[in-house]
């Protein structure tokens, strides 16, 4: 049995291996960074949708209670109709969260492929193979496979991982090309969705905020002669005038969806820079921190 | 009046947003203390009618909110199969890479075995 000595072949491949490995690694790290930003975005959208359902039901509860205080309880039929409407809203949010989860799953799969340790595992296997081949070669022919077994193993690992990394990079590129329009459309729909949810949340919060503003700001101020805690009053007035946190979070998420759309287009044309993804994560970090604290 | 050849104007996204803004404004006014104080002066049956009408408006707005989200969700669902296909493709590529590694490991195992057998020949 004759064993070929591929030492020259390995060495000839070395410069190419290093150059191409750098290019492939760069491409993969862009995919990886994009996938992580996308996953963070999907997580934020899921939490914001959940929060929107809570705000919707809280707002209608406030209105039912307010009606009860002002005019007595509404009829059972009216109460049940509102229950049914709230239940349908919660169901709708559940369905939307399912769609957000699908997008999260897509970004997770992208991340898994981009950050796979298979290139290293494959390289390590080839390195071990090179070592085993050398041992076998010595046994069969009494000569070593390469002058330096260690060098041959390192090269085997480099070239092996390069081959897999390139395959990985090609698979990612091919998939992204196929999904170019779909992801762009989904992100465009998310911009519309977050805009609609933002308006609904703002309106739902307005009822309680108007009542609080009236009681804590307008009434104490307009009632002449009554003592006024000026610092507390100023704080309440500021709180009542600035946009509520959930609305600001939804605005930020909508901006993140737009930034992600831009990043997606740049990823496909190889123009994606760190700044593009920082714009996305910059919008999302405060949202995720605030929602984690809830 | 539009002629038969002219297309019927379709409600646009803007007109829906405007309608919602007007309904929300009206609802806020109906819950404001000024209006509530006036409504409390009404005869009992009219007072109950006001309270019932107000909660009907709240219910209607909730239903319209749901419909608005449902319309976007339906469009998202239309993209669902393509996303699932993408997830399958990515997972399948990962599986192929894992397969390549397992082949390399298997090859290594075979060579190792040969190494043990050769001295015996």
Q: What is the pTM of this model?
A: 0.74
Band of pLDDT at residue B12, cut at 50, 70 and 90: low
CA-to-CA distance for A192 and A41, rounded, in angstroms? 15
The residue of B32, B80, B90 whose CB has the most chain A CBs within 10 angstroms, and thus the best one to mutate to test that interface, is B90
- Cα–Cα distance list, A65 to A71, A213, B47, B90 (Å): 10, 18, 16, 51
Mean predicted confidence (pLDDT) in A72-91: 96
**Cα dihedral sign, A100-A102-A104-A106:** negative
Q: Which residue of A has its CA nearest to B68?
A: A196
User: What does DSSP assign to residue B4?
Assistant: T
What pLDDT is recorded for position B51? 94
Among A257, A109, A173, smallest CA distance to B86 is for: A109
In this complex, the residue of A67, A125, A132 whose CB is nearest that of residue B101 is A125
Interatomic CA distance for residues A28 and A170, integer angstroms? 10
Q: Identify the residue whose tokens are 């999260």.
A: A104
Q: Say what the pLDDT of residue B25 is.
A: 92
- Judged against a pLDDT cut of 80, whether residue B111 lies above it is answered with no
ipTM of the complex in this document = 0.74
Contacts of A164 in chain B (CB under 8 A): 97, 100-101
Quote the CA–CA distance of A251 and A196 in Å, as a whole number. Answer: 11
Q: How far apart are CA B117 and CA B121, in angstroms?
A: 7
Q: Where is pLDDT greater, at A72 or A18?
A: A72
Of the candidates A274, A254, A253, A252, the one whose C-alpha atom is nearest the C-alpha of residue A263 is A274
Put residue A142 in one of left, alpha, beta given phi > 0 → left and psi -120 to 50 → alpha. left
pLDDT at B71 > cutoff 70: yes
What does the block give as tokens for A245? Answer: 């946190």
Q: What is the pLDDT of residues A144-182, one digit of tens each?
A: 444 555 655 555 555 555 555 566 667 777 888 888 889
The pLDDT value recorded for residue A196 is 95
**Interface test mutation site (partner A, options B42, B49, B83, max chain A beta carbons within 10 A):** B83
Q: Is A96 on the interface with B (CB under 8 A)?
A: yes
Residue B37 predicted with pLDDT over 70:
yes
Q: Does B26 touch chain A (CB under 8 A)?
A: no
Higher pLDDT, B31 or A114: B31
**Which residues in chain B have their CB less than 8 angstroms from residue A70's CB?**
36, 39-40, 51
- Could you say which of A64, A88, A112 has the minimum Cβ distance to residue B66? A88
- Please tell me which of A3-12, A95-104, A193-202, A210-219 the model is most confident about, judged by mean pLDDT: A193-202
Please report the DSSP string for A21-47 in residue order.
HHHHHHHHHHHHHHHHHHHHHHHHHHH
Distant-in-sequence, close-in-space partners of A232: CB < 8 Å, separation ≥ 6: none
Are the beta carbons of A184 and A38 closer than 8 angstroms? Answer: no
- Cα torsion A235, A238, A241, A247: sign: negative
pLDDT value at residue A133 = 55
Contacting residues of A for B36, CB less than 8 Å apart: 70
Q: Which of residues 60-79 of A touch B (CB under 8 A)?
A: 60, 63-64, 66-67, 70-72, 74-75, 78
**Residue of B55, B86, B111 with shortest CB distance to A175:** B86
Q: Is A125 part of the contact surface with chain B (CB cutoff 8 Å)?
A: yes
Strands, E assignment, A196-250: none
**What's the angle, vertex CA A110, arms to CA A106 and CA A111, rounded to 5?**
115
Mean pLDDT for A91-110 is: 90
Looking at residue B58, its pLDDT comes to 95
What gap in Å lies between CA B21 and CA B18, rounded to an integer? 5
pLDDT tens-digit profile of B82-92? 999 988 888 88
Helices B13-31/A180-213 angle, 10° precision: 20
Nearest 10 degrees: Cα torsion A265, B13, B53, A204? 20
Interface contacts A/B by beta carbons within 8 Å: 192
Q: With 50 as the cut, is the pLDDT of residue A10 above it?
A: no
How far apart CA B14 and CA A254 sit, in angstroms, is 18
- Enclosing H/E stretch for A111: helix A76-114
Q: CA-to-CA distance for A198 and A190, rounded, in angstroms?
A: 12
Q: Do B104 and A122 touch (CB under 8 A)?
A: yes
Task: Tell me which DSSP letter residue A1 carries.
Answer: -
Q: What is the pLDDT of residue B89?
A: 86
pLDDT at A18: 36
């Amino acid at each position: 049995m004759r064993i070929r000595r591929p030492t020259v072949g390995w060495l000839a491949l070395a410069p190419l291996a290093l150059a191409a490995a750098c290019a492939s690694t760069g491409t993969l790290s862009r995919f990886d960074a994009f996938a992580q930003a996308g996953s963070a975005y999907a997580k934020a959208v899921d939490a914001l949708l959940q929060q929107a359902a809570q705000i919707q039901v809280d707002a209608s509860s406030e209105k039912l209670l307010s009606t009860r205080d002002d005019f007595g309880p509404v009829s059972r039929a009216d109460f049940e109709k509102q229950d049914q409407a709230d239940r349908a809203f919660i169901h709708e949010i559940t369905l939307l969260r399912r769609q957000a989860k699908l997008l999260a799953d897509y970004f997770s799969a992208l991340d898994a492929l981009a950050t796979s340790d298979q290139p290293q595992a494959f390289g390590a296997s080839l390195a071990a193979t090179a070592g085993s081949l050398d041992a076998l070669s010595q046994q069969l022919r009494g000569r070593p496979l390469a002058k330096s077994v260690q060098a041959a193993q390192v090269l085997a690992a480099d070239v092996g991982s390069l081959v897999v990394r390139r395959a990985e990079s090609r698979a990612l590129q091919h998939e992204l090309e196929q999904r170019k329009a779909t992801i762009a459309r989904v992100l465009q729909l998310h911009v519309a969705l977050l805009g609609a949810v933002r308006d609904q949340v703002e309106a739902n919060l307005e009822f309680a905020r108007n009542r609080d503003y009236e009681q804590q700001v307008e009434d104490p101020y307009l009632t002449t002669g009554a003592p006024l805690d000026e610092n507390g009053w100023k704080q309440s007035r500021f709180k009542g005038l600035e946009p509520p946190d959930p609305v600001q979070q939804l605005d930020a998420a909508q901006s993140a969806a737009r930034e992600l759309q831009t990043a997606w287009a740049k990823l496909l044309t190889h123009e994606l820079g760190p700044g593009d993804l920082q714009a996305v994560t910059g919008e999302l970090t405060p949202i995720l921190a605030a929602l984690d604290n809830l | 009046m539009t002629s038969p050849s002219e297309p019927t104007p379709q409600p646009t996204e803007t007109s829906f947003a405007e309608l919602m803004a007007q309904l929300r404004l009206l609802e806020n006014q109906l819950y404001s203390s000024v209006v509530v104080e006036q409504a409390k002066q009404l005869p009992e049956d009219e007072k109950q009618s006001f309270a019932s009408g107000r909660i009907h408006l709240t219910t209607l707005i909730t239903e319209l909110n749901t419909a608005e989200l449902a319309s976007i969700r339906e469009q998202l669902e239309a993209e669902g199969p393509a996303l699932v296909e993408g997830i399958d493709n990515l997972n399948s590529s990962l599986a192929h890479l894992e397969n390549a590694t397992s082949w390399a490991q298997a090859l290594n195992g075979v060579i190792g075995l040969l190494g043990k057998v050769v001295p015996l020949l």
